[in-house]
Amino acid sequence: MLEMFEDKSTLGISIGVLVVLITFVILWLLRSKKSTRKNILLIGASNSGKTRLFCELVYQKDALTQISIVPNRGDAVIKDGGKTKTVSLVDIPGQDKVRRKYFSLYKRSAKAIAFVIDSLSFQKECKDVAQFMYEVLTDETLSKTKLNFLIVCHKQDIDLSKGQSFIKANLEKEIELLRKISTSALTSTSGSSGEAKSNLLVKSNDSNKQFEFSHLKYTNVEFCETSCQNFDPLRNWLLSN
Amino acid sequence: MLDLFTIFSKSGIVLWYFQGTTQLFTNSVNELIKSVILQERGVQSAWNHNTLSLQYKLDNEFELVFVVAYQNILKLAYIDKFLNEIQLRFRDRFKQVIENCQYGHNFDSFKSDFDEILADCEREAEEQAQMARKPRKYEESEKSSRTVASMIETKTTLIGSLVQSATNSTPSEKTKGKNEENVENLSANLIDDLESKKSNGPSPRPAMRKFEPKSKKTPTSPQPKGKAPKKWDDNVDVNTLDYSSPSNDSKEDLTTSQYASKKDIGRSIGELKPIEVNYEEEIEEVDDYVPETNKNKSKLTSNKQNGKNSTGLFSSLKSLVGGKMLTKETIQPVMEKMQEHLVSKNVAAEIATKVCDNVAQNLEGKQLGNFQFATTIIKQALHESMVQILTPKRRVDILRDVFETQRQKRPYVIVFCGVNGVGKSTNLAKVTFWLIENNFRVLIAACDTFRSGAVEQLKTHMRHLNALHPPENHGGNQMVELFEQGYGKDPAAIAHDAISYAKDARKDVVLVDTAGRMQDNEPLMKALAKLINVNNPDLVLFVGEALVGNEAVDQVRKFNQALIDNSPVKTTNPDLVRTIDGIVLTKFDTIDDKVGAAISMTYTTGQPIVFVGTGQTYADLKSLNAESVVKSLLK
Beta-bridge partner residues of B371: none
Q: Is the pTM of this model over 0.90?
A: no
Q: Is A63 on the interface with B (CB under 8 A)?
A: yes
Q: Which of A68, A127, A192 sits opposite B12 (nearest CB)?
A: A68
- Chain B residues with CB under 8 Å of A99 CB are none
Same domain, yes or no: B385 and B493: no
Torsion of CA B77, B81, B84, B87, to 10 degrees: -70
Q: Flag if B8 and A51 touch (Cβ within 8 Å).
A: no
- In angstroms, rounded to a whole number, what is the distance separating the alpha carbons of residues B597 and B551? 9
Q: How far apart are CA B550 and CA B343, in angstroms?
A: 9
**How does pLDDT run across B205-217, given as a tens digit for each residue?**
444 444 444 444 4
- What is the SS3 string spanning B557-600? HHHHHHHHHCCCCCCCCHHHCCCCCEEEEECHHHCCCCCHHHHH
- Report the Cα B225 to chain-centroid distance in Å: 35
The pLDDT of residue B427: 93
Type of residue at A234: L
Euclidean distance between CA atoms A124 and B597, whole angstroms: 34
- B162-165 contacts, C-beta under 8 A, 24 or more apart: none
Interval A133-145 mean pLDDT: 80
Rounded Cα distance between A163 and A54, Å, is 22
Integer angstrom CA distances of residue B329 from B85, B334, B337: 21, 9, 14
Q: Pairing state of beta strands B609-613 and B621-622?
A: antiparallel
What's the pLDDT at B203?
Answer: 45
Measuring CA to CA, which residue among B617, B602, B614 is closest to residue B275?
Answer: B614
Last residue of a domain, one of B76, B103, B130: B130
- Please indicate if any CB of chain B lies within 8 Å of the CB of A178: yes
Rg, Å, chain B Cα set:
33
Domain end call among B109, B130, B151: B130
Q: Are residues B49 and B72 in the same domain?
A: yes
Tell me if B532 is assigned to some domain: yes
Q: What's the gap in Å between the CA of B471 and the closest CA on chain A? A: 18
Instruction: Tell me which of A117 and B128 has the higher pLDDT.
Output: A117
If asked whether residues B572 and B493 sit together in one domain, one would say yes
Same domain, yes or no, for B375 and B403? no
Q: Which residues of A touch B37 (CB under 8 A)?
A: 69
Out of A66, A72, A177, whose CB is closest to B29?
A66
What's residue A176's pLDDT? 86
Residue in B38, B269, B403 closest to A95 by CB: B38
Phi, then psi, of A186 in degrees rounded to 5:
-55, -40
Q: Quick one: pLDDT at residue A175?
A: 87
Is residue B377 domain-shared with residue B460, that is, in the same domain? no
Distances (CA, A) of A220 to A170, A217, B514: 18, 8, 51
Could you read off the pLDDT of B411-440 as tens digits, one per residue? Answer: 999 999 999 999 999 999 999 999 998 889
The three-state (H, E, C) secondary structure of B307-347, written as one string? CCCHHHHHHHHHHHCCCCECCHHHHHHHHHHHHHHHHHCCC
Say yes or no to pLDDT of B279 above 90.
Answer: no
Distance from the Cα of B200 to chain A's closest Cα (Å) equals: 48
Find, in chain A, the residue whose alpha carbon is nearest to that of B435. Answer: A181
Whether B377 is in a domain gets the answer: yes
Query: What is the sign of the dihedral through the CA atoms of B48, B49, B55 and B56?
Result: negative
Whether A83 contacts chain B with CB within 8 A: no
Q: Is A138 on the interface with B (CB under 8 A)?
A: no
pLDDT band at B441 (very low <50, low <70, confident <90, very high): very high
What residues of chain B lie within 8 A of the CB of A188, using their CB?
A: 266-267, 269
For residue B602, the chain A residues in CB contact (below 8 A) are: none
| Residue B300, pLDDT above cutoff 50 | no
Fold of A39-240: Rossmann fold (3.40.50)
In contact, A21 and A30? CB cutoff 8 Å = no
Q: Is the pLDDT of residue B264 over 60?
A: yes
Q: How far is CA A234 from CA A41, A59, A87, A153, in A?
A: 12, 16, 12, 10
pLDDT tier, B285 (very low <50, low <70, confident <90, very high otherwise): very low
pLDDT band at A215 (very low <50, low <70, confident <90, very high): confident
Same domain, B618 and B580: yes
For residue B439, give the DSSP letter.
T
- The pLDDT value recorded for residue A192 is 39
User: B104: nearest CA in chain A?
Assistant: A59
Task: Give the pLDDT band of residue B204 (cuts 50, 70, 90).
Answer: very low
A51–chain B nearest CA distance, Å: 7
> Sign of torsion, CA B256 B260 B263 B265?
negative
Q: Are residues B385 and B409 in the same domain?
A: no
Domain that holds residue B547: 398-626
Indicate whether B413 and B492 sit together in one domain: yes
**How far is residue B322 from each of residues B290, B294, B327, measured CA to CA in Å?**
15, 18, 10
Whether A198 has its CB under 8 Å from any CB of chain B: the answer is no
Residue B221 is assigned to a structural domain of this protein: no
- B348/B441 same-domain check: no
Contact B10 A68 (CB under 8 A): yes
Distance CA B324, CA B367 (A): 6
pLDDT at B35: 82
> Could you give the C-alpha distances from B291 to B197, B205, B374, B634, in angstroms and in order?
20, 11, 15, 20
Task: Name the domain boundary from B130, B149, B171.
Answer: B130
Would you say the ipTM is above 0.90?
Answer: no
Residue A95 touches chain B, beta carbons under 8 Å? yes
Q: Which helix (H) or strand (E) segment is B255 a member of?
A: none
- Tell me the chain A residues in contact with residue B270 when contact means C-beta distances shorter than 8 Å: 181-185, 192, 194
Chain B residues whose CB is inside 8 A of the A88 CB are none
Closest residue on chain B to A195 (Cα): B270
Q: Within 10 A of B491 (CB to CB), how many other CB atoms are there? A: 24
Interface residues of B toward A, Cβ cutoff 8 Å, are 6, 8-14, 17, 26, 29-30, 33-34, 37-39, 63, 65, 101-104, 266-267, 269-271, 384, 387-388, 391-395, 397, 399-400, 403-404, 438-439
Q: Measured between alpha carbons, how far is A146 from A149 in angstroms, rounded to an integer? A: 10
> Residue B5 region, left (φ>0) first, then alpha (ψ -120 to 50), else beta?
beta
Whether B249 shows a pLDDT value over 90: the answer reads no
Identify any residues that bridge with A202 across adjacent strands, giving them in sequence order: A216
Nearest Cα neighbor of A154 from A53, A46, A239, A40 is: A53
Percentage of chain B modeled with pLDDT above 90: 25
Of the pLDDT bands very low, low, confident and very high (cuts 50, 70, 90), residue B261 is: low
CB contact under 8 A, A91 and B34: no
Q: Which residues contact B498 (CB under 8 A, 6 or more apart)?
A: B443, B445, B447, B483, B510, B512
**What is the pLDDT of chain B when averaged over all its residues?**
78
To the nearest 10 degrees (0 to 180), the angle between helices B374-390 and A96-106 is 130
Question: Alpha-carbon distance A58 to A188, whole Å?
Answer: 50
Same domain (yes/no): B116, B18: yes
Phi, psi torsion values for B524, nearest 5 degrees: -70, -35
Distance (Å) from the alpha carbon of A92 to chain B's nearest alpha carbon: 9
Average pLDDT (A171-183) is 83
Inspect the interface and report whether the beta carbons of A96 and B101 lie closer than 8 Å: no
pLDDT for the residue B182: 57
Query: What is the DSSP-derived secondary structure letter of residue B33?
Result: I
Best probe of the B interface among A97, A132, A178, by most B CBs < 10 A, is A97
In one-letter notation, the amino acid at residue B478 is Q
Instruction: Please report residues of A whose CB lies closer than 8 A to that of B14.
Output: 63-66
Helix runs in A94-208, H state only: 96-106, 122-137, 140-143, 164-183, 193-201
Q: Are B528 and B590 contained in the same domain?
A: yes
Q: Quick check: A126 contacting B, CB < 8 Å?
A: no
d(CA B576, CA B569): 7
At B304, the amino acid letter reads: K
Count: domains in chain B: 3
What would the mean pLDDT of B564-584 be, rounded to a whole number? 86
Q: Which CATH number do you get for residue B477?
A: 3.40.50.300
Spatial separation of the C-alpha atoms in residues B459 and B482, rounded to whole Å: 7
- CATH number of the domain residue B301 falls in: 1.20.120
A47 to chain B nearest CA, in Å? 10
Q: Is the pLDDT of residue B546 over 80?
A: yes
Interchain contact A144–B (C-beta under 8 A) = no
Burial-class residue B534 by CB neighbours within 10 Å (0-12, 13-18, 19+): middle
Q: How much is the CA Rg of chain A, to the nearest whole Å?
A: 23
> What is the band of B139 on the pLDDT scale with cuts at 50, 70, 90?
confident
User: B109-123, B233-247, B425-439: lowest mean pLDDT where?
Assistant: B233-247
How far are the Cα atoms of B4, B410, B562 from residue B18, in angstroms, in the given order?
A: 6, 50, 40
The per-residue pLDDT for B178 is 53
A70:B10 CB<8 A: yes
Q: How far, in Å, CA of B515 to CA of B506, rounded? A: 26
Is residue B95 in a domain? yes
pLDDT over 70 percentage in chain B? 71
Render pLDDT for B456-493 as a digit per residue (tens, 0 to 9).
999 999 999 999 988 888 888 888 999 999 898 899 99
For residues B59 and B88, give the distance between their C-alpha atoms in angstroms, rounded to a whole number: 10
Closest Cα in chain B, distance from residue A99 (Å):
10
Q: Is the pLDDT of residue A39 over 90?
A: no
Residues B577 and B464 in one domain: yes
**A66 in Cβ contact with B33 (< 8 Å):** yes
